[in-house]
Amino acid sequence: MSKRATEIEQMSSLKRAVFALKTTRAQLDALERARTEPIAVIGMGCRFPGQSDNLDAFWQLLKNGGDAVTEVPADRWDADAYYDPTPGTPGKAYTKWGAFLEHADRFDPLFFGISPREAISLDPQQRLLLEVSWEALENAGIPAGRLAHSRTGVFVGLMTNDYVQLQVATGNLSNVDAYLGTGTGDCFVAGRLSYTLGLQGPCMSIPTACSSSLVGVHLACQSLRSGECDLGLAGGVNLMLSAGTFVLMSNLRALAPDGRCKTFAAAADGYGRGEGCGMVVLKRLSEAQADGDHILAVIRGSAVNHDGHSAGLTVPNGQAQRAVLAAALANAGVRPAEVGYVEAHGTGTALGDPIEVGALDAVLGEGRPAGQPVVVGSVKTNIGHLEGAAGIAGLIKVVLALQHEEIPPHLHFEEPSPYIDWARVQVRVPVQAEPWRAGGQRRIAGVSAFGMSGTNAHVVVEEAPPAAPLSNAVERPVHLLALSAKSEAALGEAASRYAEQLTKQPPEALADLCY
Burial class of residue 433 (count of CB atoms within 10 Å of its CB; 0-12, 13-18, 19+): middle
**Alpha carbons 105 and 95: distance in angstroms, whole number:** 23
Question: How many beta carbons lie within 10 A of that of residue 300, not counting itself?
Answer: 25
Q: Is 345 a catalytic residue?
A: yes
Q: Which of 156, 149, 159 is nearest to 190 (CA)?
A: 156
Of 218, 221, 261, 385, the active-site residue reads 385
Of 210, 229, 261, 277, the active-site residue reads 210
First to last CA, the chain: 53
Q: Which of 363, 385, 169 is nearest to 268 (CA)?
A: 385
**Alpha carbons 504 and 174: distance in angstroms, whole number:** 50
Return the bridge partners of 377, or none. Answer: 343
**Alpha carbons 67 and 200: distance in angstroms, whole number:** 40
CA dihedral 474→478→479→485, nearest 10 degrees, is -140
Distance of CA 432 to CAs 62, 85, 149, 269, Å?
A: 11, 33, 47, 22
Q: What is the SS3 assignment for 443?
A: coil
Non-local CB neighbours of 406 within 8 Å, separated by 6+ positions: 63, 433, 434, 435, 436
Of 218, 345, 410, 458, the active-site residue reads 345
Q: Is 149 a catalytic residue?
A: no
**Alpha carbons 199 and 92: distance in angstroms, whole number:** 43
Return the bridge partners of 233, or none. Answer: 154, 281
Helices 352-364 and 318-332 sit at what angle, rounded to 10 degrees? Answer: 40
Q: Is 294 a catalytic residue?
A: no
> Which residues are tagged catalytic?
210, 345, 385
